[in-house]
Chain A
Amino acid sequence: MGDTIFRPYTPSDAERSDRSAGDRARHRLKIRESIRENIADIIAEESIIGQNRDRIIKVPIRGIREYRFVYGENTPGVGQGNGDSQQGQVVGKAKGQQGGEDKAGDSPGSDFYETDVTLEELIEIMFEDLELPDLERKALREIEAYRTAKRKGYRQVGIRIRLDKRRTARERAKRRMAAIRRQETAFSPAAGQGPRAGRFPFHDDDLVYRHIVTDVRKESNAVVLCLMDTSGSMDTMKKYLARSFFFLLYQFICTKYQNVEIAFVAHHTEAKEVTEEEFFHKGESGGTFISSAYTKALEIIQARYHPSLWNIYAFHCSDGDNFDSDNPAALKAAKELCQVCNLFGYGEIKPLGSRYYESSMLNIFRRLDDDNFQTVLIERKEDIWPSFKAFLGKDRGARQGVQA
């Protein structure tokens, strides 16, 4: 046994030890992927309006567990008691991570954990892989409505408040250095005089002002009109799918505009404007006149959201089970909506299998080929994200696959 070696602590060693950075980054990337995979589940739980974007959401992470062969939950365990254990005594909870055996890392529960994400981050992740920005420039009208001040260079004139003191002082210093040099080379200076010794005041030429220009941003207010069929046939599952879609739409619009309003219209044979709560939770019965919803939407637009001032996005979710006699009226109203909306969409919600024995509005809407009209078919929750992409994606040709 030779001499023991003590290697003292050095900060550089500590910095070098950050070799985990790469692996940590890769791990975080996998978390993000996992969130993206589960996004339909997460958003379906969120309410559309009134949420704080800083709110923290717990997201269960499934994708990054490390799987190996392990024993299941029926496996008994051995532990130490408090000294007076009795048979039949309860020592813990079976579900989740039991306070049982010391075999961390082996039991399935321990790898399952949640991560905290803010709603803001979540939305960012959602839109990360969407190519959206060109959308409204093509299909939508723009309104110059928002002005901001933006700095652009420096001037010698300006108002007092924009005086840049630092640069001004620098100008004076430059002038002073120049003066010293001039004096020392040209003349022999009189002692105790000149720039070196005495005062050297600021001059008008020294003053530097920040120059501000106003910038017109081409964006404006927007309104999202959520129209939904609440007839008897719209069950909880269908509403859940619709909610997920509306949530995405609302969040998307929020990323594009300063001020976004949202209106809910529920309809069966007649339509009325409702609150979000009523929109998703109230069930009505009876038949369906889709035209009633569109007419109501047009009324709301006329009254509160005039198209010359507002960007209007409307989306209608229905199972497509309309009264035949209403179809011509619905088509006509839809056309009118297309004229006032930036984007008008119709989503037909048909949980898997049901589309074979119910009528469908998708066929009727084939006849409507306005540029800003889009239909999607949503059969299950996995369809929401792709259909949303299709709805807003810039390439209309790519959406054909989603249509029924």
Chain B
Amino acid sequence: MSDYTLRDLEYWDARIRDKVQEFGLTCYPQEFEICDHTAMLGYMAYSGMPSHYPHWSYGKSYEKLKTLYDHGVSGLPYEMVINSSPALAYLMRDNTLCLQILTIAHVYGHNDFFRNNFTFQTTRAEYTITTFKAHADRVRRYIEDPSIGYERIEGILDAAHALSLQCRRNMAVKKLSEPAEQARLDEALHPRSDPFQKIHRRPDAPPPPPAKVPPSPDEDLLLFIRDHNPFLTNWERDLLTIVHEEAQYFIPQIETKIMNEGWASYWHRTILESLQLPQGLHLEFLVRHNQVVRPHPGGINPYHIGLKLWDDIERRGNEPTPEERERLPADKTGRQLMFDTREVDRDVSFLRRWLGEKQMRDLDLIRYESRGDDLVVSHVSDEQGWREVKELLVKSVGMGSTPVIRVEDADFSGSRTLLLGHVHDGRDLQLEYAERTLSYVHRLWGREVVLDTVLNGKKATLSYGERGFSAKAAK
């Protein structure tokens, strides 16, 4: 079945760890679990968590993964790592020794990234496993409670899952409590000192806008509903909290996919090349490595783009062009530049900072639009087009693929109607999905829900209330 023993893995792991230390990666303690494909499918369906609350969508996810796997449409990943301390990774039992070595090195790359990147600082890795376990226990207890039951739990979870990504994207920006936010707004209206008061008369302070809830638009839909719908029961509030917390845990991973995969790929390559593998293993490594990081024409392979950019950052540090020299911090080696970057960037800023016209041309990044039945290339990364391509790419990576919807007013028109606003950036909402999602908001809020958006360049209002859905173009 396999061409290695546990002892082999331990031997290679020890050698890899020596390299990890030599290269200056700093990792959480690491645990590996050897599993078969059924267990791997299970872990994938439940986002890698050893313990997770039940919901039919995970059954759906499992069936889908299994069908794709059984029909050979997609293989399984070589590994799966979760952001926890100790970091937990699953290795496929049936993989060859070479793949296991490559995977172990790759896992240490992710581990270092989880530990050091700023977006993960809020995830409290040491509690990950216990938190998910506690969530699972609580949900199961509600299900077993005869006064609640599975159906009602499912109803709330369905709705909460639909809104789970409607939340703040940047955890590093502190969220103020409502009174604090109100105070901040008031203060902004009354500047303490006017540096030009000797020159002109101090303008009369504009009257403060009527206090409303929320003081400024709020992106955390689930939390807002939890805190402002007085008719929710305690277990309903708790379910919203659970779904929200789990989404918060995964957002950093969504936000750093390209960086993270590129970083892990850079390090598995660097480590394996420094290990002086025997020739047979080395050749297999070259093949496997290229399978992972090859481009996917028509799509984006985060392993490929990530690795290319990290390579380029290293080059810039070591042999910058004169033009680059001016814009980079002085006397940093390529590696130092890389370590700094892995701490302070997420995909959006990573691409914005490091993806230039030349890199884009090398990657042959294109922008496409639908015309009739076809998808047609509208811009290529040449002198005229690269900015357009880059702008769209930066806009759509990570959480950029989720529209920003904010709570504008919880007492709209004085009837506790919930007014939501879609922050339109040129991309319209998919109407059927908006309708169904609004029905979920309505279920949680209990009163009418109104969403301001733009459809085909015109302002539009979608609403969901007692009598169902309606969509109107603004007058």
Contacts and interface: CB of A to CB of B under 8 A. Distances in A.
A7 interface: yes
Contacts of B379: 87
Contacts of B371: 94
Given A17-B43, A67-B436, A69-B429, A91 B375 contact: yes
A92 interface: yes
Interface stretch (A46-54, A70-78, A325-333): A70-78
A24 B63 contact: yes
- For B60, B369, B389, B392, the residue with the greatest tally of chain A CB atoms inside 10 Å of its CB is B60
Interface in A12-65: 13-14, 17-20, 22-30, 64-65
A137 interface: no
Contacts of B302: 102
Contact of B402 (A7, A27, A92, A106): A106
A370 B160 CA distance: 54
A72 B429 contact: yes
Nearest to A80: B295
Given A5-B31, A24-B59, A30-B56, A79 B299 contact: yes
Interface string B328-365: 00000000000000000000000000000000000111
Contacts of B75: none
B300 A80 contact: yes
B370 interface: yes
B38 A17 contact: yes
A6 B9 CA distance: 8
Interface in B398-444: 401-403, 405, 422, 427-434, 436-437, 440
A78 B366 contact: yes
Interface in A74-127: 74-95, 98-103, 106, 108, 113
Contact of A22 (B54, B86, B378, B429): B54
A85 B364 contact: yes
B24 to A, nearest CB: 12
B401 to A, nearest CB: 5
A90 B375 contact: yes
A153 interface: no
Contacts of B364: 80-85
Nearest to B94: A9
A80 B385 CA distance: 14
A26 to B, nearest CB: 4
A87 B378 contact: yes
A68 interface: yes
Looking at chain B's contact residues, is the secondary structure mostly helix, strand, loop, or mixed?
Answer: mixed
B62 interface: yes
A80 B299 contact: yes
Given A4-B17, A14-B35, A68-B165, A80 B366 contact: yes
A310 B212 CA distance: 77
A201 B253 CA distance: 78
Given A4-B29, A68-B433, A94-B374, A9 B34 contact: yes
A84 B28 CA distance: 43
Given A78-B392, A80-B296, A88 B59 contact: no
Contacts of B432: 108
B195 interface: no
A37 B375 CA distance: 34
Contacts of A106: 401-402
A1 interface: yes
A23 to B, nearest CB: 3
Contacts of B429: 69-72
A66 to B, nearest CB: 6
A8 interface: yes
B368 interface: yes
Nearest to A23: B59
B380 A94 contact: no
B376 A88 contact: yes
A67 B433 contact: yes
- 7 tightest A-B contacts by CB? A23-B59, A94-B370, A27-B59, A67-B436, A24-B59, A72-B430, A9-B34
20 contacts: A7-B33, A9-B93, A19-B42, A19-B46, A23-B54, A67-B440, A68-B166, A68-B402, A71-B430, A76-B367, A79-B368, A81-B380, A86-B380, A87-B379, A91-B366, A93-B373, A98-B370, A100-B375, A102-B299, A102-B302
Interface of B: 6, 9-10, 13, 17, 21, 26-36, 38-39, 42-43, 45-46, 54-60, 62-64, 86, 93, 154, 161-166, 295-302, 304-305, 363-380, 385, 389, 392-393, 396, 401-403, 405, 422, 427-434, 436-437, 440, 456
Interface of A: 1-9, 13-14, 17-20, 22-30, 64-95, 98-103, 106, 108, 113
Given A1-B29, A20-B45, A80-B363, 4 more contacts: A9-B35, A19-B46, A74-B456, A101-B396
